[in-house]
Structure 1
Amino acid sequence: MNRRAWILFALVAVLWGIPYLLIKIAIEDLSPMMVVFGRVAIAALVLVPVAAVQGSLRALRRNAVPVVVLGLIHIVGPFLLITYGEVHISSSLTGLLIAIEPVLIALLMLRAEPVTPVRAGGLALGLVGVAVLVGLDVSGDRLGLLGAGMILLATLLYAVATVYVQRRAADLPPTALVAGTTTVATVVLAPFAAFSLPTGAVSGGSWVALLALGLLCTAVALLAFYGLIGEAGPNRAGLVTYANPVVAVLLGVAILDEPIGVSTLAGFALIVAGCWLSTRPAPAPAPVVECTMAAR
Protein backbone atom coordinates (compact mmCIF):
# COMPACT_ATOMS: atom_id res chain seq x y z
CA MET A 1 0.00 0.00 0.00
CA ASN A 2 1.14 3.56 -0.61
CA ARG A 3 1.62 6.22 2.06
CA ARG A 4 -1.89 7.65 1.70
CA ALA A 5 -3.40 4.18 2.09
CA TRP A 6 -1.41 3.55 5.29
CA ILE A 7 -2.57 6.86 6.78
CA LEU A 8 -6.19 6.04 5.97
CA PHE A 9 -5.68 2.53 7.36
CA ALA A 10 -4.41 3.86 10.71
CA LEU A 11 -7.20 6.43 10.95
CA VAL A 12 -9.95 3.89 10.28
CA ALA A 13 -8.37 1.39 12.69
CA VAL A 14 -8.61 3.86 15.56
CA LEU A 15 -12.01 5.34 14.68
CA TRP A 16 -13.59 1.91 14.22
CA GLY A 17 -12.10 0.57 17.43
CA ILE A 18 -13.83 3.24 19.53
CA PRO A 19 -17.55 2.79 18.59
CA TYR A 20 -18.13 -0.35 20.66
CA LEU A 21 -17.22 1.50 23.86
CA LEU A 22 -19.30 4.55 22.87
CA ILE A 23 -22.30 2.37 22.01
CA LYS A 24 -22.15 0.75 25.46
CA ILE A 25 -22.16 4.20 27.06
CA ALA A 26 -24.95 5.59 24.85
CA ILE A 27 -27.39 2.68 25.29
CA GLU A 28 -27.37 3.19 29.05
CA ASP A 29 -29.86 6.06 28.55
CA LEU A 30 -30.90 5.83 24.89
CA SER A 31 -32.61 3.05 22.96
CA PRO A 32 -30.51 1.20 20.36
CA MET A 33 -32.75 2.56 17.60
CA MET A 34 -32.23 6.13 18.82
CA VAL A 35 -28.47 5.62 19.02
CA VAL A 36 -28.28 4.38 15.42
CA PHE A 37 -30.56 7.12 14.11
CA GLY A 38 -28.68 9.80 16.05
CA ARG A 39 -25.27 8.78 14.76
CA VAL A 40 -26.31 8.60 11.09
CA ALA A 41 -28.31 11.84 11.30
CA ILE A 42 -25.31 13.66 12.81
CA ALA A 43 -23.07 12.25 10.10
CA ALA A 44 -25.48 13.30 7.34
CA LEU A 45 -25.76 16.83 8.73
CA VAL A 46 -21.99 17.14 8.59
CA LEU A 47 -21.31 15.37 5.29
CA VAL A 48 -24.04 16.73 3.00
CA PRO A 49 -22.80 20.37 3.27
CA VAL A 50 -19.20 19.19 2.77
CA ALA A 51 -20.16 17.26 -0.37
CA ALA A 52 -22.21 20.23 -1.61
CA VAL A 53 -19.30 22.65 -1.22
CA GLN A 54 -17.02 20.23 -3.10
CA GLY A 55 -19.61 19.87 -5.86
CA SER A 56 -19.63 16.08 -5.57
CA LEU A 57 -23.36 15.67 -4.91
CA ARG A 58 -24.04 15.79 -8.65
CA ALA A 59 -22.46 12.36 -8.96
CA LEU A 60 -25.30 10.86 -6.89
CA ARG A 61 -27.91 11.46 -9.58
CA ARG A 62 -26.58 8.77 -11.88
CA ASN A 63 -25.64 6.41 -9.02
CA ALA A 64 -28.83 6.39 -6.97
CA VAL A 65 -29.18 2.60 -6.84
CA PRO A 66 -25.69 1.83 -5.46
CA VAL A 67 -26.05 4.60 -2.89
CA VAL A 68 -29.40 3.29 -1.64
CA VAL A 69 -28.08 -0.29 -1.52
CA LEU A 70 -25.00 0.76 0.45
CA GLY A 71 -27.11 2.87 2.77
CA LEU A 72 -29.01 -0.28 3.69
CA ILE A 73 -26.26 -2.92 3.77
CA HIS A 74 -23.33 -0.84 5.03
CA ILE A 75 -25.10 1.41 7.52
CA VAL A 76 -28.71 0.61 8.46
CA GLY A 77 -28.32 -3.16 8.79
CA PRO A 78 -24.90 -3.40 10.48
CA PHE A 79 -25.41 -0.41 12.79
CA LEU A 80 -28.71 -1.78 14.07
CA LEU A 81 -27.37 -5.31 14.49
CA ILE A 82 -24.23 -4.17 16.33
CA THR A 83 -26.08 -1.79 18.63
CA TYR A 84 -28.78 -4.30 19.55
CA GLY A 85 -26.14 -7.04 19.81
CA GLU A 86 -24.17 -5.04 22.35
CA VAL A 87 -27.16 -5.09 24.64
CA HIS A 88 -26.30 -8.77 25.25
CA ILE A 89 -22.51 -9.03 24.88
CA SER A 90 -19.48 -6.96 25.85
CA SER A 91 -17.94 -4.27 23.66
CA SER A 92 -14.62 -6.14 23.57
CA LEU A 93 -16.22 -9.37 22.33
CA THR A 94 -18.06 -7.34 19.69
CA GLY A 95 -14.80 -5.96 18.39
CA LEU A 96 -13.17 -9.39 18.36
CA LEU A 97 -16.01 -11.00 16.40
CA ILE A 98 -15.96 -8.27 13.77
CA ALA A 99 -12.31 -9.17 13.12
CA ILE A 100 -13.59 -12.08 10.98
CA GLU A 101 -14.51 -9.64 8.19
CA PRO A 102 -11.41 -10.29 6.00
CA VAL A 103 -12.22 -14.01 5.98
CA LEU A 104 -15.77 -13.26 4.88
CA ILE A 105 -14.50 -10.93 2.14
CA ALA A 106 -12.17 -13.67 0.93
CA LEU A 107 -15.11 -16.11 0.83
CA LEU A 108 -17.16 -13.65 -1.20
CA MET A 109 -14.33 -13.22 -3.69
CA LEU A 110 -13.55 -16.90 -4.24
CA ARG A 111 -14.60 -16.70 -7.89
CA ALA A 112 -12.32 -13.76 -8.56
CA GLU A 113 -9.25 -15.12 -6.79
CA PRO A 114 -7.91 -18.70 -6.95
CA VAL A 115 -8.24 -20.90 -3.87
CA THR A 116 -4.85 -22.18 -2.79
CA PRO A 117 -4.33 -24.68 0.05
CA VAL A 118 -2.94 -21.86 2.18
CA ARG A 119 -5.98 -19.66 1.59
CA ALA A 120 -8.36 -22.55 2.23
CA GLY A 121 -6.58 -23.31 5.49
CA GLY A 122 -6.81 -19.66 6.47
CA LEU A 123 -10.54 -19.55 5.84
CA ALA A 124 -11.03 -22.64 7.99
CA LEU A 125 -8.78 -21.28 10.75
CA GLY A 126 -10.67 -18.00 10.92
CA LEU A 127 -14.01 -19.75 11.23
CA VAL A 128 -12.58 -21.98 14.00
CA GLY A 129 -11.51 -18.83 15.81
CA VAL A 130 -15.07 -17.51 15.71
CA ALA A 131 -16.34 -20.83 17.05
CA VAL A 132 -13.83 -20.66 19.91
CA LEU A 133 -14.84 -17.10 20.80
CA VAL A 134 -18.56 -17.76 20.73
CA GLY A 135 -18.35 -21.19 22.31
CA LEU A 136 -16.20 -20.14 25.26
CA ASP A 137 -17.50 -16.63 25.88
CA VAL A 138 -21.27 -17.02 25.53
CA SER A 139 -21.82 -20.78 25.66
CA GLY A 140 -25.09 -21.59 27.45
CA ASP A 141 -26.24 -17.95 27.37
CA ARG A 142 -29.11 -17.69 24.89
CA LEU A 143 -29.14 -13.90 24.88
CA GLY A 144 -25.37 -13.88 24.54
CA LEU A 145 -25.60 -16.23 21.56
CA LEU A 146 -28.27 -13.97 20.05
CA GLY A 147 -26.01 -10.95 20.51
CA ALA A 148 -23.02 -12.75 18.99
CA GLY A 149 -25.18 -13.86 16.04
CA MET A 150 -26.24 -10.27 15.43
CA ILE A 151 -22.61 -9.13 15.40
CA LEU A 152 -21.59 -11.87 12.96
CA LEU A 153 -24.49 -11.01 10.64
CA ALA A 154 -23.46 -7.36 10.77
CA THR A 155 -19.91 -8.39 9.87
CA LEU A 156 -21.19 -10.33 6.87
CA LEU A 157 -23.06 -7.24 5.69
CA TYR A 158 -19.89 -5.18 6.11
CA ALA A 159 -18.01 -7.70 3.94
CA VAL A 160 -20.71 -7.65 1.24
CA ALA A 161 -20.70 -3.83 1.27
CA THR A 162 -16.92 -3.67 0.99
CA VAL A 163 -16.94 -5.80 -2.16
CA TYR A 164 -19.96 -3.91 -3.52
CA VAL A 165 -18.21 -0.55 -3.14
CA GLN A 166 -15.31 -1.65 -5.32
CA ARG A 167 -17.55 -3.19 -7.97
CA ARG A 168 -20.35 -0.63 -8.17
CA ALA A 169 -19.28 2.60 -6.48
CA ALA A 170 -15.49 2.88 -6.64
CA ASP A 171 -15.71 5.85 -9.05
CA LEU A 172 -17.96 7.90 -6.76
CA PRO A 173 -16.26 10.66 -4.74
CA PRO A 174 -16.04 9.45 -1.10
CA THR A 175 -17.77 12.59 0.22
CA ALA A 176 -20.76 12.10 -2.08
CA LEU A 177 -20.95 8.38 -1.30
CA VAL A 178 -20.91 8.84 2.47
CA ALA A 179 -23.26 11.84 2.36
CA GLY A 180 -25.68 9.84 0.23
CA THR A 181 -25.58 6.65 2.29
CA THR A 182 -25.97 8.41 5.64
CA THR A 183 -28.88 10.44 4.25
CA VAL A 184 -30.56 7.26 3.01
CA ALA A 185 -30.07 5.70 6.44
CA THR A 186 -31.43 8.77 8.21
CA VAL A 187 -34.59 8.80 6.08
CA VAL A 188 -35.16 5.05 6.54
CA LEU A 189 -34.68 5.14 10.31
CA ALA A 190 -36.51 8.41 11.10
CA PRO A 191 -40.03 6.90 11.39
CA PHE A 192 -38.78 4.20 13.78
CA ALA A 193 -36.72 6.65 15.84
CA ALA A 194 -39.80 8.82 16.35
CA PHE A 195 -41.24 6.03 18.51
CA SER A 196 -37.97 5.50 20.39
CA LEU A 197 -37.41 8.91 21.92
CA PRO A 198 -36.01 8.92 25.48
CA THR A 199 -38.66 9.11 28.17
CA GLY A 200 -36.33 9.88 31.07
CA ALA A 201 -33.27 11.97 31.77
CA VAL A 202 -30.27 11.38 29.52
CA SER A 203 -26.81 11.85 30.99
CA GLY A 204 -24.25 14.13 29.42
CA GLY A 205 -22.00 11.12 28.85
CA SER A 206 -24.60 9.46 26.63
CA TRP A 207 -25.05 12.60 24.53
CA VAL A 208 -21.28 13.04 24.16
CA ALA A 209 -20.94 9.37 23.16
CA LEU A 210 -23.68 9.80 20.54
CA LEU A 211 -22.05 12.94 19.14
CA ALA A 212 -18.67 11.18 18.88
CA LEU A 213 -20.33 8.18 17.20
CA GLY A 214 -21.88 10.40 14.54
CA LEU A 215 -19.07 12.83 13.91
CA LEU A 216 -15.91 10.75 14.30
CA CYS A 217 -16.87 7.07 14.09
CA THR A 218 -19.35 7.51 11.24
CA ALA A 219 -18.69 10.66 9.18
CA VAL A 220 -14.90 10.79 9.34
CA ALA A 221 -14.42 7.00 9.52
CA LEU A 222 -16.63 6.22 6.50
CA LEU A 223 -14.91 8.89 4.43
CA ALA A 224 -11.55 7.38 5.29
CA PHE A 225 -12.74 3.80 4.69
CA TYR A 226 -14.21 4.44 1.25
CA GLY A 227 -11.02 6.27 0.35
CA LEU A 228 -9.01 3.28 1.60
CA ILE A 229 -11.00 0.89 -0.60
CA GLY A 230 -10.21 3.07 -3.60
CA GLU A 231 -6.50 3.18 -2.72
CA ALA A 232 -5.92 -0.42 -1.67
CA GLY A 233 -8.90 -2.55 -2.79
CA PRO A 234 -11.45 -4.39 -0.63
CA ASN A 235 -9.19 -7.19 0.58
CA ARG A 236 -6.54 -4.90 2.01
CA ALA A 237 -9.14 -2.43 3.27
CA GLY A 238 -10.83 -5.27 5.14
CA LEU A 239 -7.56 -5.97 6.97
CA VAL A 240 -8.24 -2.88 9.07
CA THR A 241 -10.18 -5.24 11.32
CA TYR A 242 -6.84 -6.60 12.55
CA ALA A 243 -6.34 -3.39 14.53
CA ASN A 244 -9.92 -2.48 15.45
CA PRO A 245 -10.34 -5.26 18.05
CA VAL A 246 -7.14 -4.30 19.84
CA VAL A 247 -8.49 -0.78 20.41
CA ALA A 248 -11.93 -2.15 21.36
CA VAL A 249 -10.54 -4.64 23.89
CA LEU A 250 -8.17 -2.16 25.51
CA LEU A 251 -10.96 0.39 25.96
CA GLY A 252 -13.46 -2.21 27.17
CA VAL A 253 -11.07 -3.58 29.78
CA ALA A 254 -9.68 -0.21 30.90
CA ILE A 255 -12.91 1.82 31.03
CA LEU A 256 -15.78 -0.66 31.34
CA ASP A 257 -13.84 -3.26 33.35
CA GLU A 258 -14.85 -6.01 30.92
CA PRO A 259 -13.23 -9.41 31.54
CA ILE A 260 -10.89 -11.01 29.04
CA GLY A 261 -9.25 -14.39 29.42
CA VAL A 262 -6.77 -16.67 27.73
CA SER A 263 -9.52 -18.38 25.72
CA THR A 264 -10.66 -15.06 24.30
CA LEU A 265 -7.14 -14.18 23.24
CA ALA A 266 -6.72 -17.64 21.70
CA GLY A 267 -9.89 -17.22 19.64
CA PHE A 268 -8.74 -13.81 18.42
CA ALA A 269 -5.31 -15.20 17.54
CA LEU A 270 -6.94 -17.89 15.40
CA ILE A 271 -9.05 -15.27 13.62
CA VAL A 272 -6.03 -13.05 12.91
CA ALA A 273 -4.01 -16.01 11.61
CA GLY A 274 -6.92 -17.11 9.45
CA CYS A 275 -7.40 -13.60 8.05
CA TRP A 276 -3.72 -13.29 7.20
CA LEU A 277 -3.56 -16.64 5.45
CA SER A 278 -6.87 -16.29 3.61
CA THR A 279 -5.99 -12.89 2.16
CA ARG A 280 -2.50 -13.75 0.96
CA PRO A 281 -2.20 -13.25 -2.81
CA ALA A 282 -1.91 -16.38 -4.90
CA PRO A 283 1.60 -17.04 -6.19
CA ALA A 284 2.16 -15.92 -9.75
CA PRO A 285 2.34 -18.80 -12.23
CA ALA A 286 5.83 -19.72 -13.36
CA PRO A 287 6.66 -18.37 -16.81
CA VAL A 288 6.48 -20.93 -19.56
CA VAL A 289 9.73 -21.19 -21.47
CA GLU A 290 9.33 -22.56 -24.97
CA CYS A 291 12.30 -24.56 -26.23
CA THR A 292 12.72 -24.82 -29.98
CA MET A 293 15.30 -26.79 -31.94
CA ALA A 294 17.07 -24.99 -34.72
CA ALA A 295 16.75 -26.58 -38.17
CA ARG A 296 19.95 -28.23 -39.37
Structure 2
Amino acid sequence: MSASSFFRLVLLASIWGGSFLFTRIAANTFGPAFLIEFRVGFALLSLLLVAVYLKRRLAFKRHYQHFFILGLLNTALPFTLFAYAAQTLNASTLSILNSTAAIWGAIIAFFWHRTQLTPKGMTGLVVGIIGVGILVGVDGARIGSHSIPAIFAGIMAAFCYGLATNYTKTAPNIQSFDNAHGSMWAATLWMLPLLFFMPMRGEPTPIEWTSVILLGVVCTGYAYLLFFRLVTDEGAASALSVTFLIPMFGILWGYLFLDEPIGLNTVAGTGLILAGTMMVTGFNPKALTTKRKSTR
Protein backbone atom coordinates (compact mmCIF):
# COMPACT_ATOMS: atom_id res chain seq x y z
CA MET A 1 0.00 0.00 0.00
CA SER A 2 1.38 3.39 -0.99
CA ALA A 3 2.01 6.10 1.59
CA SER A 4 -0.84 8.21 0.18
CA SER A 5 -3.28 5.28 0.36
CA PHE A 6 -2.20 4.47 3.90
CA PHE A 7 -2.86 8.10 4.86
CA ARG A 8 -6.33 7.90 3.27
CA LEU A 9 -7.01 4.67 5.16
CA VAL A 10 -6.20 6.25 8.53
CA LEU A 11 -8.10 9.42 7.63
CA LEU A 12 -11.16 7.39 6.64
CA ALA A 13 -11.05 5.42 9.89
CA SER A 14 -10.82 8.64 11.91
CA ILE A 15 -13.79 10.11 10.02
CA TRP A 16 -15.99 7.05 10.38
CA GLY A 17 -14.95 6.74 14.02
CA GLY A 18 -16.07 10.35 14.41
CA SER A 19 -19.48 9.55 12.96
CA PHE A 20 -20.42 7.81 16.21
CA LEU A 21 -19.29 10.86 18.17
CA PHE A 22 -21.51 13.19 16.11
CA THR A 23 -24.41 10.73 16.23
CA ARG A 24 -24.12 10.54 20.01
CA ILE A 25 -24.11 14.35 20.31
CA ALA A 26 -27.20 14.93 18.16
CA ALA A 27 -29.34 11.80 18.63
CA ASN A 28 -31.34 12.79 21.71
CA THR A 29 -32.45 16.17 20.36
CA PHE A 30 -33.09 15.30 16.71
CA GLY A 31 -34.42 11.80 17.33
CA PRO A 32 -33.44 8.90 15.04
CA ALA A 33 -35.65 9.78 12.06
CA PHE A 34 -34.82 13.47 11.68
CA LEU A 35 -31.15 12.89 12.47
CA ILE A 36 -30.74 10.33 9.70
CA GLU A 37 -32.91 12.23 7.23
CA PHE A 38 -30.65 15.24 7.67
CA ARG A 39 -27.55 13.03 7.53
CA VAL A 40 -28.43 11.35 4.24
CA GLY A 41 -29.82 14.62 2.91
CA PHE A 42 -26.55 16.49 3.46
CA ALA A 43 -24.62 13.51 2.06
CA LEU A 44 -26.90 13.48 -0.99
CA LEU A 45 -26.26 17.16 -1.65
CA SER A 46 -22.50 16.59 -1.35
CA LEU A 47 -22.50 13.68 -3.79
CA LEU A 48 -24.85 15.53 -6.15
CA LEU A 49 -22.42 18.45 -6.31
CA VAL A 50 -19.58 16.03 -7.04
CA ALA A 51 -21.65 14.31 -9.74
CA VAL A 52 -22.45 17.66 -11.36
CA TYR A 53 -18.78 18.66 -11.23
CA LEU A 54 -17.72 15.35 -12.77
CA LYS A 55 -20.65 15.49 -15.24
CA ARG A 56 -21.80 12.03 -14.15
CA ARG A 57 -25.42 11.27 -14.87
CA LEU A 58 -27.12 8.84 -12.50
CA ALA A 59 -29.36 6.21 -14.14
CA PHE A 60 -31.66 6.05 -11.10
CA LYS A 61 -34.80 5.05 -13.00
CA ARG A 62 -33.06 2.12 -14.70
CA HIS A 63 -31.73 0.67 -11.44
CA TYR A 64 -34.27 2.03 -8.95
CA GLN A 65 -35.00 -1.38 -7.39
CA HIS A 66 -31.33 -1.97 -6.71
CA PHE A 67 -30.83 1.51 -5.26
CA PHE A 68 -33.84 1.15 -2.96
CA ILE A 69 -32.62 -2.21 -1.64
CA LEU A 70 -29.10 -0.90 -1.13
CA GLY A 71 -30.36 2.36 0.36
CA LEU A 72 -32.42 0.43 2.89
CA LEU A 73 -29.90 -2.23 3.91
CA ASN A 74 -26.70 -0.21 3.77
CA THR A 75 -27.90 3.24 4.83
CA ALA A 76 -31.42 4.00 6.07
CA LEU A 77 -31.92 0.98 8.34
CA PRO A 78 -28.45 0.68 9.95
CA PHE A 79 -28.08 4.47 10.32
CA THR A 80 -31.47 4.65 12.07
CA LEU A 81 -30.68 1.72 14.34
CA PHE A 82 -27.36 3.30 15.36
CA ALA A 83 -29.10 6.65 15.94
CA TYR A 84 -31.62 4.92 18.20
CA ALA A 85 -28.82 3.14 20.07
CA ALA A 86 -26.87 6.41 20.40
CA GLN A 87 -29.59 7.79 22.67
CA THR A 88 -28.38 5.32 25.31
CA LEU A 89 -24.96 3.93 24.40
CA ASN A 90 -21.70 5.87 24.22
CA ALA A 91 -19.72 6.45 21.03
CA SER A 92 -17.10 3.87 22.02
CA THR A 93 -19.61 1.05 22.34
CA LEU A 94 -21.31 2.00 19.08
CA SER A 95 -18.04 1.91 17.13
CA ILE A 96 -17.11 -1.46 18.60
CA LEU A 97 -20.50 -2.99 17.76
CA ASN A 98 -20.09 -1.65 14.24
CA SER A 99 -16.89 -3.67 13.81
CA THR A 100 -18.88 -6.92 14.03
CA ALA A 101 -20.28 -6.26 10.54
CA ALA A 102 -17.56 -8.41 8.96
CA ILE A 103 -18.45 -11.31 11.26
CA TRP A 104 -22.12 -11.00 10.34
CA GLY A 105 -21.12 -10.85 6.69
CA ALA A 106 -19.29 -14.16 6.99
CA ILE A 107 -22.22 -15.84 8.76
CA ILE A 108 -24.73 -14.58 6.18
CA ALA A 109 -22.43 -15.64 3.33
CA PHE A 110 -22.34 -19.17 4.77
CA PHE A 111 -26.14 -19.49 4.57
CA TRP A 112 -26.78 -17.32 1.49
CA HIS A 113 -23.89 -18.10 -0.84
CA ARG A 114 -22.79 -21.39 0.75
CA THR A 115 -19.37 -19.86 1.41
CA GLN A 116 -17.56 -22.32 3.66
CA LEU A 117 -15.88 -21.16 6.85
CA THR A 118 -12.43 -22.49 7.62
CA PRO A 119 -11.59 -23.82 11.10
CA LYS A 120 -9.78 -20.54 11.69
CA GLY A 121 -12.90 -18.66 10.61
CA MET A 122 -15.10 -20.69 12.95
CA THR A 123 -12.70 -19.97 15.80
CA GLY A 124 -12.84 -16.30 14.89
CA LEU A 125 -16.63 -16.33 15.16
CA VAL A 126 -16.44 -17.75 18.66
CA VAL A 127 -13.76 -15.25 19.70
CA GLY A 128 -15.78 -12.36 18.29
CA ILE A 129 -18.97 -13.49 20.02
CA ILE A 130 -17.11 -13.73 23.33
CA GLY A 131 -15.82 -10.18 22.78
CA VAL A 132 -19.35 -8.90 22.16
CA GLY A 133 -20.51 -10.75 25.26
CA ILE A 134 -17.87 -9.08 27.43
CA LEU A 135 -18.64 -5.64 26.03
CA VAL A 136 -22.41 -5.98 26.15
CA GLY A 137 -22.53 -7.74 29.51
CA VAL A 138 -20.50 -5.17 31.42
CA ASP A 139 -21.99 -2.15 29.64
CA GLY A 140 -25.49 -3.52 30.14
CA ALA A 141 -24.88 -4.01 33.85
CA ARG A 142 -23.42 -0.52 34.20
CA ILE A 143 -26.09 1.34 32.21
CA GLY A 144 -29.04 -0.77 33.30
CA SER A 145 -31.63 -3.05 31.73
CA HIS A 146 -32.92 -0.21 29.51
CA SER A 147 -29.67 -0.48 27.55
CA ILE A 148 -30.58 -3.93 26.19
CA PRO A 149 -32.79 -2.64 23.31
CA ALA A 150 -30.07 -0.13 22.36
CA ILE A 151 -27.37 -2.81 22.34
CA PHE A 152 -29.60 -5.08 20.26
CA ALA A 153 -30.22 -2.20 17.83
CA GLY A 154 -26.46 -1.65 17.43
CA ILE A 155 -25.89 -5.34 16.74
CA MET A 156 -28.72 -5.39 14.20
CA ALA A 157 -27.23 -2.33 12.48
CA ALA A 158 -23.99 -4.25 11.99
CA PHE A 159 -26.08 -7.21 10.77
CA CYS A 160 -27.60 -4.93 8.11
CA TYR A 161 -24.11 -4.03 6.86
CA GLY A 162 -23.28 -7.73 6.60
CA LEU A 163 -26.52 -8.33 4.73
CA ALA A 164 -25.86 -5.42 2.35
CA THR A 165 -22.36 -6.72 1.61
CA ASN A 166 -23.74 -10.10 0.59
CA TYR A 167 -26.51 -8.50 -1.45
CA THR A 168 -24.00 -6.57 -3.54
CA LYS A 169 -22.46 -9.88 -4.67
CA THR A 170 -25.65 -10.64 -6.59
CA ALA A 171 -26.57 -7.03 -7.45
CA PRO A 172 -26.18 -5.35 -10.85
CA ASN A 173 -22.64 -4.34 -11.79
CA ILE A 174 -22.76 -0.61 -11.02
CA GLN A 175 -19.82 1.65 -10.27
CA SER A 176 -19.19 2.42 -6.61
CA PHE A 177 -19.82 6.16 -6.88
CA ASP A 178 -23.18 5.58 -8.57
CA ASN A 179 -24.08 3.04 -5.88
CA ALA A 180 -23.40 5.64 -3.19
CA HIS A 181 -25.18 8.44 -5.04
CA GLY A 182 -28.23 6.36 -5.95
CA SER A 183 -28.54 4.75 -2.53
CA MET A 184 -28.53 8.19 -0.87
CA TRP A 185 -31.49 9.26 -2.99
CA ALA A 186 -33.27 6.05 -2.01
CA ALA A 187 -32.35 6.38 1.68
CA THR A 188 -33.68 9.93 1.76
CA LEU A 189 -37.01 8.67 0.42
CA TRP A 190 -37.04 5.70 2.81
CA MET A 191 -36.69 8.04 5.80
CA LEU A 192 -39.51 10.44 4.86
CA PRO A 193 -42.44 8.40 6.32
CA LEU A 194 -40.64 7.99 9.65
CA LEU A 195 -40.60 11.75 10.17
CA PHE A 196 -44.33 11.65 10.91
CA PHE A 197 -43.92 9.02 13.65
CA MET A 198 -40.59 10.02 15.21
CA PRO A 199 -40.60 13.81 15.72
CA MET A 200 -37.73 15.96 16.90
CA ARG A 201 -37.50 16.25 20.67
CA GLY A 202 -36.22 19.77 21.07
CA GLU A 203 -34.55 22.78 19.53
CA PRO A 204 -31.07 21.77 18.31
CA THR A 205 -28.13 23.78 19.56
CA PRO A 206 -25.47 25.15 17.16
CA ILE A 207 -23.15 22.31 18.24
CA GLU A 208 -25.83 19.73 17.41
CA TRP A 209 -26.49 21.30 14.00
CA THR A 210 -22.76 21.35 13.31
CA SER A 211 -22.56 17.67 14.27
CA VAL A 212 -25.36 16.76 11.86
CA ILE A 213 -23.80 18.72 8.99
CA LEU A 214 -20.41 17.11 9.59
CA LEU A 215 -22.11 13.74 9.87
CA GLY A 216 -23.67 14.13 6.44
CA VAL A 217 -21.06 16.05 4.47
CA VAL A 218 -17.84 14.64 5.94
CA CYS A 219 -18.68 11.31 7.56
CA THR A 220 -20.95 10.16 4.74
CA GLY A 221 -20.41 12.10 1.51
CA TYR A 222 -16.67 12.77 1.68
CA ALA A 223 -15.98 9.44 3.41
CA TYR A 224 -17.56 7.55 0.51
CA LEU A 225 -15.25 9.33 -1.92
CA LEU A 226 -12.22 8.36 0.17
CA PHE A 227 -13.39 4.77 0.35
CA PHE A 228 -13.97 4.55 -3.40
CA ARG A 229 -10.48 5.93 -4.05
CA LEU A 230 -9.03 3.24 -1.77
CA VAL A 231 -10.97 0.50 -3.53
CA THR A 232 -9.74 1.77 -6.91
CA ASP A 233 -6.10 2.16 -5.86
CA GLU A 234 -5.63 -0.79 -3.51
CA GLY A 235 -8.54 -3.17 -4.00
CA ALA A 236 -11.53 -4.08 -1.84
CA ALA A 237 -9.58 -6.34 0.55
CA SER A 238 -7.14 -3.60 1.56
CA ALA A 239 -9.90 -1.00 1.81
CA LEU A 240 -11.82 -3.35 4.11
CA SER A 241 -9.03 -3.06 6.67
CA VAL A 242 -10.52 0.30 7.70
CA THR A 243 -13.01 -1.76 9.72
CA PHE A 244 -10.28 -2.67 12.19
CA LEU A 245 -9.21 0.94 12.78
CA ILE A 246 -12.64 2.52 13.33
CA PRO A 247 -13.11 1.33 16.97
CA MET A 248 -9.73 2.80 17.93
CA PHE A 249 -10.85 6.24 16.76
CA GLY A 250 -14.38 5.81 18.08
CA ILE A 251 -12.99 5.14 21.55
CA LEU A 252 -10.44 7.96 21.25
CA TRP A 253 -12.95 10.62 20.14
CA GLY A 254 -15.43 9.54 22.81
CA TYR A 255 -12.74 9.81 25.48
CA LEU A 256 -11.41 13.19 24.29
CA PHE A 257 -14.66 15.02 23.54
CA LEU A 258 -17.35 13.30 25.64
CA ASP A 259 -15.26 12.16 28.63
CA GLU A 260 -16.33 8.56 28.04
CA PRO A 261 -14.47 6.13 30.29
CA ILE A 262 -12.23 3.45 28.82
CA GLY A 263 -12.79 0.44 31.00
CA LEU A 264 -11.04 -2.91 31.03
CA ASN A 265 -14.09 -4.48 29.40
CA THR A 266 -13.83 -1.97 26.53
CA VAL A 267 -10.21 -2.89 25.87
CA ALA A 268 -10.79 -6.63 26.24
CA GLY A 269 -14.02 -6.68 24.23
CA THR A 270 -12.53 -4.59 21.44
CA GLY A 271 -9.43 -6.77 21.24
CA LEU A 272 -11.44 -9.98 21.01
CA ILE A 273 -13.89 -8.59 18.45
CA LEU A 274 -11.10 -7.29 16.20
CA ALA A 275 -9.10 -10.51 16.56
CA GLY A 276 -12.17 -12.58 15.72
CA THR A 277 -13.00 -10.37 12.75
CA MET A 278 -9.48 -10.69 11.35
CA MET A 279 -9.66 -14.48 11.69
CA VAL A 280 -13.04 -14.64 9.97
CA THR A 281 -12.03 -12.40 7.08
CA GLY A 282 -8.50 -13.76 6.79
CA PHE A 283 -7.09 -10.25 7.05
CA ASN A 284 -3.37 -10.07 7.81
CA PRO A 285 -1.98 -6.66 8.95
CA LYS A 286 1.52 -7.75 7.87
CA ALA A 287 0.30 -7.93 4.28
CA LEU A 288 -0.44 -4.21 4.35
CA THR A 289 2.98 -3.44 5.78
CA THR A 290 4.73 -5.63 3.18
CA LYS A 291 2.77 -4.06 0.32
CA ARG A 292 3.46 -0.59 1.65
CA LYS A 293 7.22 -1.22 1.77
CA SER A 294 7.23 -2.67 -1.74
CA THR A 295 5.77 0.55 -3.14
CA ARG A 296 8.38 2.86 -1.66
TM-score (norm 2): 0.84
Deviates more, 1:10-19 or 1:244-253: 10-19
- 1:156 paired to 2:159: yes
Q: Is the 8 A contact 2:19 2:219 kept in 1?
A: yes
- Aligned partners of 2:31, 2:17: CA distance in 1, in Å? 21
| SS of residue matched to 1:35 | helix
The structural deviation recorded for 1:30 is 2.0
- Aligned partners of 1:194, 1:236: CA distance in 2, in Å? 41
Aligned to 1:287: none
Q: What is the identity, as a one-letter code, of the residue corresponding to 2:145? A: R
Post-superposition Cα deviations, 1:8-46, rounded to whole Å, max 9, x if no partner, equal: 533331221001111121124322211111111111122
Matches for 1:170-209 after TM superposition, within 5 Å: 171-193=173-195, 198=200, 200-209=202-211
Aligned to 1:165: 168
- 1:80 paired to 2:80: yes
Matches for 1:10-29 after TM superposition, within 5 Å: 10-29=10-29
Closer, same or farther: CA 227–181 of 1 in aligned 2, 3 Å: farther
| SS of residue matched to 2:87 | coil
The structural deviation recorded for 1:269 is 0.8
Q: Percent identity?
A: 29
Q: What is the identity, as a one-letter code, of the residue corresponding to 1:244? A: I
Aligned to 1:294: none
Q: Is the 8 A contact 1:102 1:235 kept in 2?
A: no
- Select the structure of larger CA radius of gyration: 1
- 1:143 paired to 2:153: no
Aligned to 2:98: 98
- Aligned partners of 1:73, 1:15: CA distance in 2, in Å? 21
Post-superposition Cα deviations, 1:216-256, rounded to whole Å, max 9, x if no partner, equal: 01111233335545666665544322111111101111211
- 1:272 paired to 2:279: no
RMSD: 2.6
Q: Which segments of 5 or more consecutive residues in structure 1 lack a partner in the other structure?
A: 282-296
Q: Is the 8 A contact 2:28 2:87 kept in 1?
A: no
Closer, same or farther: CA 7–268 of 1 in aligned 2, 3 Å: same
Question: Match for 1:214 among 190, 213, 216?
Answer: 216
Aligned to 2:252: 250
Post-superposition Cα deviations, 1:133-186, rounded to whole Å, max 9, x if no partner, equal: 1112113822211111000000011122123334425x4233322221111111
Q: What is the identity, as a one-letter code, of the residue corresponding to 1:278? A: V
Q: Is the 8 A contact 1:33 1:193 kept in 2?
A: yes
- Aligned partners of 2:205, 2:60: CA distance in 1, in Å? 38
Deviates more, 1:107-116 or 1:43-52: 107-116
